[in-house]
Amino acid sequence: MGTGKRGLLATAVAVVCAVIVLGAPGTAFASPSPTPTPTPGSTAGAEAPPLPSTATADKNLEAVRTELEALYHDAAVATDAYNAAEEAARQQSAEIVALAKKIVAGQEKLADLKNRAGAAARAQYRTGGLPDEARLMLSDDPSQFLDGAGRVRQGQRATKGLIDELSRTQQDLEQYSKDASAQWSKLEAGRKTKAAAQKKIEKQISEAEKLESRLEKKEKARLEELERQAAQKAQTAWLDTGVLHEIGSAASAQGKEAVRFATAQVGKPYVWGAEGPDSFDCSGLTSEAWKSAGRAMPRTSQEQWKQLPHVPVEDMRPGDLIIYFSDASHVAMYVGDGTIVHAPRPGRTVTLAGAGSMPILGVVRPDA
């Protein structure tokens, strides 16, 4: 084969290799490869161009991380809406059960009152249909008249009381029925809210999982490393404010118990809507931890922020809850030394992290 033909063959081989490399999946985030040595006789234009640098790959992964954060944040907001609807449904169902019991008891009472009224009517019929007052006036015996007058007054009061009680019982039953109907309407509206929230949660998580599934194993590992670096950077900035030097309050007895419970869950998976014992979402972890310490509290992070007493960040103590993001969509428990325990997001497990690794909205104290 002549020199010219060998040169053309070498050029063709180089071009094919370049096409294969450029068409390979994941090259957008791959490490740069060394420039191939030109084959003797090949032209400079046949060389494969260099792959993106590590900095470019990290920039692309950083964009992925930002998008994932947005998707999981939206899922967290929807999870709070789902949990709120679930909690409201439990309360409304309990109220409906209580009203149903009142209605049954009221119906039994009404039936008894009607029986008593009927007995009084039958007794009057047996005496010729004359009321007690008329029969008393027809009596010729003075002593019987005086004794009878007292009984008449008692009978009048009893009759009036019976009629009043019948009326009240009927009014109560009507109100119980209206209240039960209103609770059913709320329950139905809550079911729709819950279903809409669930649909949004599943959609956001599905999109996030699809985005992550496109990454290769090395890229996923690098993405987790970028997440850790971002959290560490935020934690360092928070610590640099000197706030940790001002935090020195000891945990209360209940706070210590809550911390023990929460830290014992480390390693268990995050599952939205979960309250244990095998998995948790962020507010499920904090509410169950404080429940174990004997303190009932709101189920969602947003309600925990609204209803629990606020304390300054510099005054927080172990067991206090740190609420994150401007919409109070995430909550963690402070365990001391600038550290929190929390259930981060789908795909992660309950873990320890820096208290300043996310934007702090404020701190609440369940046992204030």
pLDDT tens, N- to C-terminus, the chain (368 residues): 444 433 433 333 343 333 333 333 333 333 334 444 444 444 444 454 554 566 777 778 888 888 888 999 999 999 999 998 888 888 888 888 988 888 888 888 878 877 777 776 666 666 555 455 555 454 555 555 445 545 555 555 666 777 777 788 888 888 888 888 888 888 888 889 989 999 999 999 999 989 888 888 899 888 889 888 999 999 999 999 888 887 877 899 999 999 999 999 999 999 999 999 999 999 999 999 999 999 999 999 999 999 999 999 999 999 999 999 999 999 999 999 999 999 999 989 999 999 999 999 999 999 98
Q: Left if phi > 0, otherwise alpha if psi is -120 to 50, otherwise beta: which for 328?
A: left
**Confidence at residue 144, expressed as pLDDT on a 0 to 100 scale:** 55
**Confidence at residue 333, expressed as pLDDT on a 0 to 100 scale:** 97
**What is the spatial distance between Cα 29 and Cα 222, in angstroms, rounded to a whole number?**
10
**What is the spatial distance between Cα 272 and Cα 42, in angstroms, rounded to a whole number?**
59
Q: Which two tokens stand for residue 29?
A: 């985030």
**Confidence at residue 9, expressed as pLDDT on a 0 to 100 scale:** 34
Task: Give, as one character, the DSSP assignment of residue 45.
Answer: G
**Confidence at residue 308, expressed as pLDDT on a 0 to 100 scale:** 97
- Which residues are annotated as catalytic? 282, 330, 342
**Confidence at residue 38, expressed as pLDDT on a 0 to 100 scale:** 44
Which residue type is seen at 117?
A
